[in-house]
Chains A and B, each alone.
Chain A
Amino acid sequence: MLQKAGLVLSDGTSIDDLIDTKMHEVSLRVMNDPELHKIEMERIFGRTWLLLGHDTEIPKAGDFVVRDMGEDQVIVARDRKGEIHVLLNVCPHRGMKVCTAEAGNTQAHRCIYHGWAFRPDGAFIGAPVEKEQMHGNMRPKSELGLKKARTHLYGGLIFATWNIEGPSFDEFLGDTKFYFDQLFCRTDSGLELLGPPQRFMIPANWKIGAEQSASDGFHTLTLHRSLMEGGVMGGTPESIYDNAPGMYGVDVSCSEGHSLRCLEAAQTFKMFSNMSFEGKSTEERLRMLPPPGITQELIPQLFKNLSPAQVEMLATIPPQVGGMFPNVLVLFIFAPRTDGGASGALALHTYMPRGPNHFEFVNYIFAEKDAPEQVKRDMLENSIQQAGTSGIIEQDDADTWPQIMRNARGPVGRSMTLKYQALTGHHIPEGWPGGGLVYPGFTKDDTQWNWWLNYHRLMSSPS
């Protein structure tokens, strides 16, 4: 028998049987396999950088929120020095949750079970009845703190990983950092989370949402047909399939599986106005159509915080939707308002696994911190109406994913394959300012396939 590299499941199926890298096909079985799920928790969620929230959620010393890293729950807390720590919410004493709230403020997290207490940096303070030394004398206090993850702040976004010696966050973002910076690192004060995230359960495997987040632009045309009926994608409801300018642009990604769809500003602008972009300077174009979430007052800050090439991209072909491997969706879109205008809707989602058959959809909604209050209120309203629990776009996704999941149950159904065979191929258009893998034209399957390749790579290599 040939030696199968990487991962072999107990029934002899290998990762190469499940992900056919020659044919660009993925077995539907991957969406419903408890054994695979267990390995994903170790090799993916135990290893990559994971998004946990934003530093504006916990501005004061002692502030904390409780979040998830895969199936593990963590406390995200700010200490007296202002530093943010990510701590496993498992009492080292007897395994109880140390923190039973979802958010709050405290300088001492005290477990309700036996009273062991911990500082916001995870350090063990002590157990009750000091003189009896109820933590024993076999381990020093320094060994009894909360287990700590490695933490990184990127544009205020809080990321953490259990992979203490692994790749840096910048290495993790790879060649897509140039593009993500245009969304997260463009203004002096950065983004502000407008309120605690919406949370809701989807009866589907986390990968059903996650592989779509890797810039599946194509589904917009049919699943989100109501967007086209509403005139958001250009074209007309009658000529929906062959006249949808919003489907063209440049998809970018990298071998780490992240991706973004960049859509031509001139095309977007045409939907709102008859004026032409022709012959206009970068700044003039930015003023005519500020990128989603940016107001006129913030435009000078773009030049200050970004490179000329990055600003030029924002003015010409801004990144608007995409994802970060493994489970983040990025949505920085122009959203039409009911009064006829358009404002930005800025949201990030994480798809957190809850066993192999469910995931929790966590929806974070943002605005630029320095945007006027009225703009923040508009953007909040708009984001809620477009995305998340009641959002008219994502209602349709939330109804589709469980039906794919249902099909992954049948013995015949789960042997079917998901196909990623509509390919553009990496090709850098002339004058393109960024790096990474670049796919110009109609949005196709390349970026999603890169997501699966990274999944394959991580799943194939034991820690």
Chain B
Amino acid sequence: MTDRSTAAVDKSAVMRGLISRSRVPVGSEIYNRLLETLYDEAAALDERRFDDWVAMLATDLVYTAPIRLTRTGVNRDRDVMRTMMHFNDNYASILMRTGRLSKSAWAEDPPSRTRRFVTNMRVGETENPDEYEVVSYLYLTRSRGETAEYEVTTGERRDVWRFVDGAYKLSKREIILDQSTLSMSNLAVFL
């Protein structure tokens, strides 16, 4: 049984992004194609081409964003809590979300103007020769309405991308946000 209590420590919650020991080097063919894919994905989301984005997702997608919890002492680095999440989604629920965005979704109508800056990409091989572990940093700026203030969020994305029919598809994404209390007033945008 899962120990869901807030006080309990999630022993798996160590701050380490890339698990794979076989690195795909920067500048290699595979690395470049994956980097291109992340750039294309960011562009599709910033340009609100949600159908194009959904086409980049595998149907067995697992899309999550665990919460962070400030801890001290021996548990100071175990601050990712996977019992609770900001996103807990799959392919069908992402379709539900993008479908809503085409109708009455006032949280994004008028739409936010967003920029997704994707950096620090590291790639590792997995047991499956067609799948790669891809870790990247995300800096998202969001401007809404006529207010001069940006809403900003930052985090690390731990992905698995699968090579299918000549293109990479996202089959897993865990977003490790950096805030325990989010400054963004909603997550009506994808990370």
Contacts and interface: CB of A to CB of B under 8 A. Distances in A.
B4 A104 contact: no
B84 A198 contact: yes
A392 B87 CA distance: 11
Contact of A194 (B72, B75, B84, B188): B84
A165 interface: no
Contacts of B22: none
A339 B93 CA distance: 9
B185 A399 contact: yes
B168 to A, nearest CB: 25
B4 A384 contact: no
A360 B180 CA distance: 12
A192 B93 CA distance: 25
A14 to B, nearest CB: 33
A102 B88 contact: no
Interface string A402-419: 110010000000000000
Contacts of B1: 373
A53 B6 CA distance: 10
B186 interface: yes
B181 A199 contact: yes
B152 interface: no
A395 B186 contact: yes
A423 interface: no
Given A63-B7, A196-B6, A381-B88, A399 B71 contact: no
A100 interface: yes
A313 interface: no
B73 A392 contact: no
A396 B95 CA distance: 18
B76 to A, nearest CB: 8
Given A226-B104, A390-B87, A194 B70 contact: no
Interface string A25-63: 000000000000000000000000000010011111001
B88 A57 contact: no
B83 A103 contact: no
Interface string A388-404: 11101011101110110
Chain B, interface residues (CB within 8 Å), range: 35 or more
B87 to A, nearest CB: 5
A384 B7 contact: no
A389 B7 contact: no
Interface string A62-101: 0111000000000000000000000000000000000011
A199 B185 contact: no
Interface string B94-107: 01110010011111
A399 B188 CA distance: 10
Given A103-B6, A201-B181, A229-B103, A395 B81 contact: no
A201 B106 contact: no
Interface in A337-370: 338-339, 360, 365
A57 B6 contact: yes
Contacts of B186: 200, 389-390, 394-395, 398-399
Contact of A200 (B4, B73, B144, B185): B185
A157 to B, nearest CB: 14
B187 interface: yes
Interface string A132-155: 000000000000000000000000
A126 interface: no
Contact of B72 (A56, A104, A226, A339): A104
A434 interface: no
B28 interface: no
B71 A101 contact: yes
Contacts of A230: 96, 100
B6 A203 contact: no
Interface string B8-21: 00000000000000
A324 interface: no
A53 B5 CA distance: 11
Interface in A254-285: none
A197 B81 CA distance: 10
A195 B88 contact: no
A339 B83 CA distance: 23
Nearest to A394: B186
A271 B92 CA distance: 21
A390 B188 contact: yes
B106 A103 contact: no
B181 A360 contact: yes
A53 B96 CA distance: 31
26 contacts: A63-B5, A65-B6, A102-B69, A195-B85, A196-B67, A197-B6, A198-B67, A200-B182, A200-B186, A201-B183, A223-B106, A225-B103, A226-B104, A230-B96, A381-B88, A381-B93, A385-B96, A385-B97, A390-B188, A392-B105, A394-B186, A395-B107, A395-B188, A398-B186, A399-B185, A402-B185
Question: Nearest 5 pairs between A and B by C-beta?
Answer: A195-B84, A195-B83, A395-B107, A63-B7, A57-B6
Interface of B: 1-2, 4-7, 65, 67, 69-73, 75, 81, 83-90, 92-93, 95-97, 100, 103-108, 144-145, 147, 180-188
